[in-house]
Structure 1
Amino acid sequence: MEYAKYIKSIPDFPEKGINFRDITSLLQEGPVYRAAIDELAAFARERGAEVVVGPEARGFVIGGPVAYALGLGFVPVRKPGKLPRAVETVTFEKEYGKDELCLHKDAIKPGQRVFVTDDLLATGGTIDATIKLVRNLGGVIAGVGFLIDLAALNGKKYLKDYDVLSLIHY
C-alpha cells in the first residue's frame, strides 16, 4: 500500500525549518491504519516476537495495536514518574537536550523476544534508549518497526544490528 499519501506534511512546525510528518491523517483512515498495523505485525510474527514494546506517546498507537493483532502483551516505555513499580531508566541525548525513559523492571523476562515499535524514526535517540532498556533487562530484540523513517536524520545508525521495517521513507 502507498502509505505516504496518507501522511500530511506541515511546514515550519513545531518551529521554522521543520517539515513535520503528521501521522494522525493516516490513523484517521481505518482501513489504511489496519493495513499498516497488519504489515508491522506480520514482520514481528516472522521474527518470533513474544512481546511488543513502544515508547510514549505515539509508540502506543502503533505498538498497542500490533500487540493486539499478534495476541501478545504490550509494554509501555514512559517518562520518569509515570510508571508505578520499580523501573529501569536510561538517559539519552535528544535534539534539544537530555531526556529519560523508563521501563518496569519486571516487564521483560530474560531471553524474551521483543518487537520494538514507534511511529517515526528520526535521529534515533528515543528508539536507541528503548532498545537499551529492553537489553538491560535481558530482552532480545526480535525486530524494530516504524511507520516512517526520516532517512536524512540517520536514526538507523543505532539499528545496524537489527531487522528493521519502515513503511514510509522520506
Structure 2
Amino acid sequence: MVRLMLAFAMFVGMTLAARADEADLKKQVDAIGAAYMEHFNKGDAAGLVSLYTADGILVNPAGMNKVTPALFEGMFKNGGLNHLDPPKVEQVIMIDSKVALGIGTYHQTGKKADGTAVESEGWWSATYVLDGDKWKLRMLTAAPKPPPAK
C-alpha cells in the first residue's frame, strides 16, 4: 500500500512539473509568435531569421526552404502578404527538455502590386529546439486553408 501511494505521489509530482514546464513553454512560444509578427509586419528579414536555428527550415506552399534573409526579402517583394495578425497558439507539447512542438492558426493580409487585396489564413505547426538558453524555430510549416468550394 505504501509503495502504491509513493508511486501515485511521484506520478502526480511529475504530472504537475510537466504541466508547469508546458505552461512556461506556451508563454515562450507565444512570445516567439509575437516577435515573428512584429518582424514580419516591419519587413525585417534579419529579425525573422534570428527566431530560427542556424539550420532552420520554412515549409509552405512554395516548398521547403532553408531560412535566410533572402528568403524573407523575396516573400516581402513578391508575395503581397505583408501583414500578419497575431498567430494563435492552440497547443504546445514538450517532447523532452530540448525539443517541443507547437500548432495553431494564422491570418495574413496584404495587397498585390496592382492594388488587389489578398488574404490567407490557415494552420501552422512548428518544431522548437532549445538553442543555448533560448527556444528557437527549427522548422515552421504553414498550410493555407483551401478556397471555398464553388
TM-score normalised by length of structure 2: 0.23
Greater relative CO, 1 or 2 (CA 8 Å, sep 6+): 2
TM-score normalised by length of structure 1: 0.21
Bigger share in strand: 2
Structure of larger gyration radius: 2
